Chain A
């Protein structure tokens, strides 16, 4: 991971795009004190473009929290923003997952203080649409985002502000691409999970299966995973198995027991510890929701 500041300095234009491109963050973006200034700048100073949801503004003052938790919370919120936008944009689950993963991977190597996360998120959504063959229009993305930040406001006029925002999104997309070295296609757990579901379903009595909403629950858990960075810290198979495991466990579905557990069969290298790790990460995210929103 590169030093974000050097990277920014080196890159010049993209760095500007990230913060200054939106023309909202103002000077606070680059030079300000770590964390606070950046956030504060974008929140209070940012006009329409990406002022951030209300919750974010309060964060500047909470000194008690560590940087890490604050960042995690920010990411959670931004991911929530991506998810909500995804639903409003009619994105499928996989592109949304890609967008989140793009976002997490981007901020894995770049400081949150340097780039405006919501702008990055918008660009991630845009880029994910391209990567996953579900093209989205920047106009829609901007519209949905604008409405997300300015609740129930009228849609943006097609004026300068709109076009500047659009330019920011597009340039930020380039920035992300460069930052990730164009490694933008990921293996997601979705495919695994669905195949596992098919196999597990065959093990269970069909009537018991239809009675139990395992598929929905597992799918929901998988989608919710992307609120955090677990999607890049765990193998996709593990995540798939963990979500399926949790789903089955939640409903107390009894699985046949042989020499090996069903999850052992589905993925050779997964251990109970892996599953538990994923599950605990996931459950933390649910706890996080209560704290963040």
Chain B
């Protein structure tokens, strides 16, 4: 209980109230605590009246409320708003004592009692002295609203308290007698009754700081003063009349405004009724709370019926119910979860996820929401993974795990994907490292090449547009791009590439994605007998193969030294093919695009025509090939110009088509082989590479100098090697006998042969070692042999991560086929284009024989020795390749013949 307040009250009411209080508050310990204190004082009754006993009883009864410290909740807003005078949100009334006619003395005493430093007053100058001027106060301008005009109050404003205007004049010269001055009360001597005012703004108390001090016009005088004047002049004016005449009185929100000023809360309104004390109001009884509850239960009802619909397969109705539920209760968890489940069921993973997440936001512990969200996230992650958006997918897995860290599926998926990502990152790093290494290599024809590439791209695009995509190849065909890396070429191209960045970047990204996918597939493959060492990712493998092919060729036959010229030539030619390839790759789109591209190559054959073309047209194609080959061979005997020759050969459309077919055929044929060989090489390579990861890394780096470059070079390399091998194979068919390269080339040639007589190839394949790879390759070949449609499906299923082991092999054939086609066709185009620039065209190196060509191809690594990083690699790679070749030979030899 507020003792001072109680004492004040008792002083007013006298002894009787105290007695009543003691009666009424006997059980109030608070009162008992202060009672003894209060009892000491004697109270004389002052306020006498009829209703007094009743009022005293009331006070006594309600004393515990009235004098409770918490009763005084009001925090009056003392600060007067700046625009209060102008807008008058409430009726600003003249001082009440004006109407009350309070005696002069009392008023004067009240003023000196209540006026405080910092208040604002308005006065008229009545005397100016050298030390300041004197004011006769008219009214209070802020802080206190009193009628003081007739109180004969004089205030001094010292010269020091007058702000100088900047000039050195006497500040007093600005003031005249009779001026109205607003000033702040600087000091107040209550005993001497002396008031000093100041014109410095600092003299005002902070809440009045907005008031401007100095001379004021009569119109600026406060409203309560001007209204008071009206009252003084017109005795008929009453408080109520003025009140009603006030603009502010009619303000519709005057009650709220004044309540706010008084600081009384209207949300938790005070009451002296016992039953209306705010402690009796429970939060859950308030309308908003009940409404929320009701909405929730109503929404739940809707959800229930929605679930019912859902169970009966009426999905539309169910959705309607869920939406209705969410309309009723925007954040209804059940509705969100149910709708999310429905979305997920319908395949709208993202919508489902957002629903679940919304649900979890409002109810973080909702079990179903969590569970479903986990599942959906993983599901979505898988989708993304298929789209090769690994990082996003990883994020989803992680999110799923953060929700439920024991969710096994997410764990597994995350493990898988992190591996994948790490691998791809490593690859990229290596690639960049390699690129820096290679930065120096110079290439002359860069500009032209670029131009050619562009043209080629354009053409390709045109073609692509016109051709229907034979879908089958997409996933698998992407792969070849990575395989053989020709280090030299990539080195060569690094500069050029840099210049070309813009164009190639896209491709590189894609390749990255692809590569990661590949590695992922690899991972999956690992479940198979393939060497457990994962680090040799598919990429590596391919890189190995590719580089192996290239290098191996060179390496093995390294003995056959080729002049730098040759190498250069070769490089250039590689470059061409590479750039073509890279472009190809670059424009090779994610998914459909790529398919389209690749499909394009097949398009000429149409669906199902493939096989036909392969087989049926084998003669034709072989003829074409022969032709091409012949041309090639004859064609200045450029070794590597193969591509060129190919181009030439294909310079005519038919030729291209044929070559494409050829390529496909070849690739198909090879695919099995490749699959095998790759598998083998992979295994070996992996093993070895694992052991020699650094070297390998380097090699891979080289292969992947830049990502794009990598892909390109690899492709190129592959292509090259393939092409080479093809050539070789062809040549080697005639006279093959070269080491393992030969093996491969043999394989290729074999394929060729097979192409010519597919049955044989198939037989061979079937006969081929029962290693997984071979099986896979068989599968793949089978797939390849199926008409495109079914092939597609098979490849799709194979290619998808689901049956991981199968995935890579099918890819191989297609890839190769595409590659072949591409490499053939593209370089051809390139050559055509280049035709004008002819001279530049990699001068068909004189090394006429295909074997030479191989040698040339093989050489690069050695010459590449110039590149510091490369040196180490070739040896390793060669090792690997040797092994691979041997392996292949061993294995291949049997089945083949």
B294 touches A215 (CB 8 A): no
Instruction: Flag whether B811 is at the interface (Cβ < 8 A).
Output: no
A216 touches B264 (CB 8 A): yes
Which residue of A has the minimal Cβ distance to B101? A259
A111 and B274 CA atoms in complex are apart in Å by 29
- From A93, A191, A199, A259, B93 is in contact (CB under 8 Å) with A199
A191 and B238 CA atoms in complex are apart in Å by 17
B76 touches A215 (CB 8 A): yes
Instruction: Flag whether B412 is at the interface (Cβ < 8 A).
Output: no
B102 touches A143 (CB 8 A): no
* Chain A residues within 8 Å of B254, by CB: 191, 194
Instruction: Flag whether A5 is at the interface (Cβ < 8 A).
Output: no
A133 and B255 CA atoms in complex are apart in Å by 13
| Contact bitstring B2-15, A, C-beta under 8 A = 1, else 0 | 00110011111100
* Chain B residues within 8 Å of A249, by CB: 12, 47, 55, 59
Say how far B723's CB is from chain A's closest CB, in angstroms.
Answer: 76
Stretch at the interface among B67-75, B516-524, B744-752: B67-75
A215 touches B285 (CB 8 A): no
A92 and B240 CA atoms in complex are apart in Å by 25
A88 touches B97 (CB 8 A): no
A133 and B61 CA atoms in complex are apart in Å by 37
* Chain B residues within 8 Å of A147, by CB: 285, 290
Instruction: Flag whether B191 is at the interface (Cβ < 8 A).
Output: no
B55 touches A246 (CB 8 A): yes
| Contact bitstring A241-268, B, C-beta under 8 A = 1, else 0 | 0000010011111101111111011111
* Complex interface residues of chain B between 230 and 257 (CB less than 8 A to chain A): 238-240, 243, 249, 252, 254-256
* Chain B residues within 8 Å of A286, by CB: 58, 61-62, 272-273
* A251-B256 in contact given A80-B275, A210-B76 (Cβ < 8 Å): no
- From A87, A156, A213, A262, B100 is in contact (CB under 8 Å) with A262
Which residue of A has the minimal Cβ distance to B14? A252
A195 and B298 CA atoms in complex are apart in Å by 47
* Chain B residues within 8 Å of A195, by CB: 90-91, 93, 243, 249, 258
B256 touches A92 (CB 8 A): yes
* Chain B residues within 8 Å of A253, by CB: 8, 12
A158 and B324 CA atoms in complex are apart in Å by 14
Say how far A248's CB is from chain B's closest CB, in angstroms.
Answer: 9
* Chain A residues within 8 Å of B271, by CB: 83, 220, 223-224
A194 and B421 CA atoms in complex are apart in Å by 72
* Chain B residues within 8 Å of A203, by CB: 95-97
B100 touches A219 (CB 8 A): no
Instruction: Flag whether A84 is at the interface (Cβ < 8 A).
Output: yes
Stretch at the interface among B106-114, B214-222, B667-675, B785-793: B106-114
B262 touches A252 (CB 8 A): no
* Chain B residues within 8 Å of A155, by CB: 290-291, 293-294, 297
Instruction: Flag whether B103 is at the interface (Cβ < 8 A).
Output: yes
A215 touches B263 (CB 8 A): yes
Which residue of B has the minimal Cβ distance to A80? B275
Interface centre among A89, A144, A195, A223, by most B CB within 10 Å? A195
* Complex interface residues of chain A between 180 and 216 (CB less than 8 A to chain B): 190-192, 194-195, 197-200, 202-203, 205-206, 209-213, 215-216
* A256-B106 in contact given A202-B95, A280-B51 (Cβ < 8 Å): yes
Instruction: Flag whether B269 is at the interface (Cβ < 8 A).
Output: yes
B12 touches A252 (CB 8 A): yes
A158 touches B294 (CB 8 A): yes
A262 touches B8 (CB 8 A): no
Number of interface residues of A (CB under 8 A): 80
Interface centre among B12, B72, B270, by most A CB within 10 Å? B270
* Chain A residues within 8 Å of B90, by CB: 194-195, 198
- From B238, B273, B281, A227 is in contact (CB under 8 Å) with B273
Instruction: Flag whether A283 is at the interface (Cβ < 8 A).
Output: yes
* A256-B239 in contact given A200-B96, A216-B264 (Cβ < 8 Å): no
B102 touches A258 (CB 8 A): yes
Which residue of B has the minimal Cβ distance to A139? B291
Say how far B226's CB is from chain A's closest CB, in angstroms.
Answer: 16
| Contact bitstring A39-74, B, C-beta under 8 A = 1, else 0 | 000000000000000000000000000000000000
Mostly helix, strand, loop or mixed at chain A's interface?
Answer: helix
| Contact bitstring B76-107, A, C-beta under 8 A = 1, else 0 | 10100000000000110101110111110011
Interface centre among A158, A202, A212, by most B CB within 10 Å? A202
A154 touches B297 (CB 8 A): yes
B272 touches A84 (CB 8 A): no
Instruction: Flag whether A9 is at the interface (Cβ < 8 A).
Output: no
Instruction: Flag whether B288 is at the interface (Cβ < 8 A).
Output: yes
A210 and B390 CA atoms in complex are apart in Å by 68
A221 touches B114 (CB 8 A): no
Say how far A269's CB is from chain B's closest CB, in angstroms.
Answer: 9
Mostly helix, strand, loop or mixed at chain B's interface?
Answer: helix
* Chain A residues within 8 Å of B262, by CB: 194, 197, 215, 219
Instruction: Flag whether A11 is at the interface (Cβ < 8 A).
Output: no
Interface centre among A87, A144, A212, A276, by most B CB within 10 Å? A87
B272 touches A143 (CB 8 A): no
Say how far B61's CB is from chain A's closest CB, in angstroms.
Answer: 7
Say how far B732's CB is from chain A's closest CB, in angstroms.
Answer: 85
B255 touches A194 (CB 8 A): yes
Instruction: Flag whether B259 is at the interface (Cβ < 8 A).
Output: yes
A157 touches B298 (CB 8 A): yes
* Chain A residues within 8 Å of B12, by CB: 249, 251-254
A252 touches B9 (CB 8 A): yes
* A252-B13 in contact given A206-B114, A267-B240 (Cβ < 8 Å): yes
* Chain A residues within 8 Å of B73, by CB: 213, 216
A154 touches B293 (CB 8 A): yes
A202 and B298 CA atoms in complex are apart in Å by 54
Instruction: Flag whether A217 is at the interface (Cβ < 8 A).
Output: yes
Instruction: Flag whether A140 is at the interface (Cβ < 8 A).
Output: yes
* Complex interface residues of chain A between 108 and 158 (CB less than 8 A to chain B): 133, 139-141, 143-144, 147-148, 152, 154-158
* Chain B residues within 8 Å of A209, by CB: 76
* Chain A residues within 8 Å of B143, by CB: 206
* Complex interface residues of chain A between 258 and 293 (CB less than 8 A to chain B): 258-262, 264-268, 272, 276, 279-280, 283, 286, 289-290, 293
Instruction: Flag whether B868 is at the interface (Cβ < 8 A).
Output: no
* Chain B residues within 8 Å of A192, by CB: 243
Say how far B31's CB is from chain A's closest CB, in angstroms.
Answer: 15
- From A88, A194, A246, B285 is in contact (CB under 8 Å) with A88
Say how far A107's CB is from chain B's closest CB, in angstroms.
Answer: 20
Say how far A229's CB is from chain B's closest CB, in angstroms.
Answer: 16
- From A143, A210, A254, A259, B290 is in contact (CB under 8 Å) with A143
- From B116, B286, B301, A88 is in contact (CB under 8 Å) with B286
Instruction: Flag whether A17 is at the interface (Cβ < 8 A).
Output: no
* Chain B residues within 8 Å of A148, by CB: 285
* Chain B residues within 8 Å of A197, by CB: 258, 262
A159 and B247 CA atoms in complex are apart in Å by 49
Which residue of A has the minimal Cβ distance to B259? A194
B273 touches A260 (CB 8 A): no
A289 and B252 CA atoms in complex are apart in Å by 33
* Complex interface residues of chain B between 113 and 151 (CB less than 8 A to chain A): 113-114, 116, 143-146
A154 and B285 CA atoms in complex are apart in Å by 11
B8 touches A258 (CB 8 A): no
A93 touches B269 (CB 8 A): yes
A92 touches B66 (CB 8 A): no
A216 touches B72 (CB 8 A): yes
* Chain A residues within 8 Å of B285, by CB: 88, 144, 147-148
21 example contacts (A-B, Cβ-Cβ < 8 A) are as follows A80-B276, A87-B281, A139-B291, A140-B290, A144-B287, A191-B254, A195-B258, A199-B93, A211-B4, A217-B66, A224-B272, A250-B58, A250-B59, A250-B62, A251-B9, A257-B102, A258-B103, A268-B240, A272-B49, A279-B55, A283-B55
4 more CB-based (< 8 A) A-B contacts, given A143-B287, A283-B58: A83-B271, A216-B74, A259-B100, A286-B61
Considering the complex of A and B, which 10 residue pairs feature the smallest CB-CB distances, nearest first? A252-B12, A258-B102, A258-B100, A194-B258, A213-B72, A155-B294, A265-B99, A259-B101, A220-B270, A140-B287
